[in-house]
Structure 1
Amino acid sequence: MSGSPILALRKAIIARLAANAALVDALGGAKIYDEAPRGVETPYALFADAQMRDRSAQSSRGAEHYFTLAIVTTQRGTSAALGAAQQIIDLLDDAPLALDGHALVDLRFVSLETKRDQNGRFARVAMTFRAVTEYLEPEGP
């Protein structure tokens, strides 16, 4: 059985984003996290909510994913964060990512939302994507 398609997808996304010099420059480093380290400076990209549903067919096992990536910043205004978000959208929408143990069938940008936390210190630009993956069956004996 293949490993988690969510983890395989995240690994491929991190590799694609971290390889883009313009995005790394906009974030001040390859700052793409599942959970931001304590004391890390903003801006950074953060995996937020994820949802996976079975999307198997008679001939193959698959999954449909909805996941959110957010740009987090403490800068006044969101223009720099929106710029970094657009770079991520451009890099991921319909990207041909190679996944460990899975095949990526489709990856699409779905929506974008900006939010401020309750104390107004952090702003988030959240991007939601939809992906469809299939499990790769292991080679026979």
Structure 2
Amino acid sequence: MSYAVSAALQSAVFAAVASDIAVGDAVGDAVYDALPSGALPSIYISIGPETVKVADDMTGSGAIHNFVVSVVTDVPGFFAAKEVAGAVCDVLHDADLTLNRGTLVSLRFERARAIKIDKGTGRRIDLTFRARTEDN
């Protein structure tokens, strides 16, 4: 198992989401790995936490990455956040991303959790994806 492919996976995920036309129409360039200082836009995407476990097999070393992409908004109601979450899923589910290290074997949507935040005035949808990588 190698965690070394994790940065390459994150870079590819970020690039795919940030360059998608539908996502850009919804959030502009508000796709973040680290939140910027100062005021945040009313809706944005954050590439978030990840857990990784070994997935070695007879052909070599590999890993299963479960990572979260969050859609966050201060807009009341879930509709706007769900539209953006759907666009993110369209980009990532079954995506064929090229990594600068290793190989992406599969990328699948696993689950979502939609919650109220900021005392009920905002919304957050956490999308969990499962990626299988191999380190060549």
TM-score (ref. length: structure 2): 0.91
Stretch moving more, 17-26 or 3-12: 3-12
Q: Name stretches of at least 5 consecutive residues in structure 2 with no aligned partner.
A: none
Answer whether contact 2:35 2:46 (CA < 8 A) is retained. Answer: yes
Q: Structure 1 CA distance, aligned partners of 2:3 and 2:13?
A: 16
Range with greater deviation from structure 2 (29-38 or 59-68): 29-38
SS of alignment partner, residue 60 of structure 1: coil
Counterpart of 1:117 in structure 2 is 117
Q: Contact conserved, 1:3 with 1:101, CA < 8 A, in 2?
A: no
Give the CA deviation at 1:91: 0.9
The letter of the residue matching 2:130 is R
Identity rate, percent: 32
Distance 2:69 2:9 in 1: 12
Shift of 1:117: 2.2
1:32 — aligned with what?
Answer: 31
- Conservation of the 8 A alpha-carbon contact between 2:97 and 2:104: yes
Within 2, Cα distance between the matches of 1:79 and 1:34?
Answer: 24
SS of residue in 2 equivalent to 1:26:
helix
Question: What is the alpha-carbon distance in structure 2 between the residues aligned to residue 23 and residue 118 of structure 1?
Answer: 24
Question: Equivalent residue for 1:100?
Answer: 100
RMSD of the alignment, in Å?
A: 1.5
1:68-87 equivalent positions in 2, closer than 5 A: 68-87=68-87
| Deviation readout 1:22-55 (Å, 9 max, x if unpaired) | 211101x122112211222121111222100011
SS at match of 2:58: coil
- Give 1:139's aligned residue: none
- Distance in 1 (alpha carbons) for counterparts of 2:22 and 2:105: 27
Consecutive unaligned residues of structure 1, counting only runs of 5 or more, are: 137-141
Counterpart in 1 of 2:58? 58
Letter in 1 for 2:117: D
- Deviating above 6 A after TM superposition, structure 1's stretches of 4 or more consecutive aligned residues are none
Asked if 1:13 corresponds to 2:35, the answer is: no
TM-score (norm 1): 0.88
Which one has the largest radius of gyration? 1
Paired positions, count: 134
